[in-house]
Amino acid sequence: MCGRLSQYRGIHDFVAVLSIPDALINHVGDAPLAHYNAAPTTSLAILQQHNHQVHAQNLRWGWRPHWAKDRAPPINARVEKVAHGPFFRSIWRHRLIVPVDNWFEWVDAEDHTRQPWLIRRADHGPVFCAGIGQFPTPDTQARDDDGFVIITADSEGGMLDIHDRRPVVFGAELAREWLDTATPLERAEQMLLFEGEKTEVFEWHKVDRAVGNSRNQVAGLIDEVV
């Protein structure tokens, strides 16, 4: 996963697909999120559960433990290591969903440039990416080093050979189970390893190279180009 995504619909559009029975605790507002080309360090809407209620809040994309100040905060965590490696140990229990519309990957083109591609669900529905992070709750205060990472898995040979890694994406039912703080850690790891959405759920197309500049945020960045 190359580190660029879109999150442009409103938070209620994402949550409606999850069919969450209880009222959403909404800290991000009702307006469209309007991130057509979000880069690492962007504050994005995430969903997390606390005391049986789902909260929507903004959180920075990228996180590192306090003892790893010698490196930039990673934006992704490999599914093969996230549950047992020391780097993410302190946040492994802190599960969240990053609801997005699509993500972008870059691939070498015939003219030796890098061509960006957009990947989304074939039904154009929300993409629920599994993540973990450090975030405030009603019982805790926000911290300067709060943030999240998206968990990635092998792309099973690649999506159109675009990239060898991709986010672990859940359907609505599994996304609710992932958010549920009662879900055991062992079950959460099994979900990541074996129950993410398969390649056939997605579609992809080329987009304008302007997406390479994260300052560009116009809606046309997600349109297909020939």
Distance from the first to the final alpha carbon of the chain: 23
Helix axes 172-179 and 185-194, enclosed angle (nearest 10): 150
Judge whether 137 and 50 are in contact, CB under 8 Å.
Answer: yes
What is the rounded distance in angstroms from the CA atom of residue 26 to the CA atom of residue 56?
Answer: 5
197 belongs to the catalytic site: no
pLDDT surpassing 80 at residue 1: no
Q: How many residues does the chain have?
A: 226
Q: Which of 80, 105, 110, 200 is catalytic?
A: 105
Overall average pLDDT of the 204-213 stretch: 96
**CA atoms of 65 and 57, how far apart (whole Å):** 21
- Is residue 129 part of the annotated active site? The answer reads no
Asked if residue 101 has pLDDT above 90, the reply is yes
The answer to whether the predicted template modeling score (pTM) of the entire model surpasses 0.85 is: yes
Mean pLDDT of 74-82: 95
Domains (range + CATH), the chain: 5-222 (3.90.1680.10)
* Neighbour tally for 3: CB within 10 Å: 17
Residue of 2, 177, 189, 203 marked active site: 2
Contacts of 226 (CB under 8 A, 6+ apart): 206
- Tens-place pLDDT, residues 137-177: 888 889 999 999 999 998 766 676 667 789 999 999 999 99
Whole-number mean pLDDT of the chain?
Answer: 94
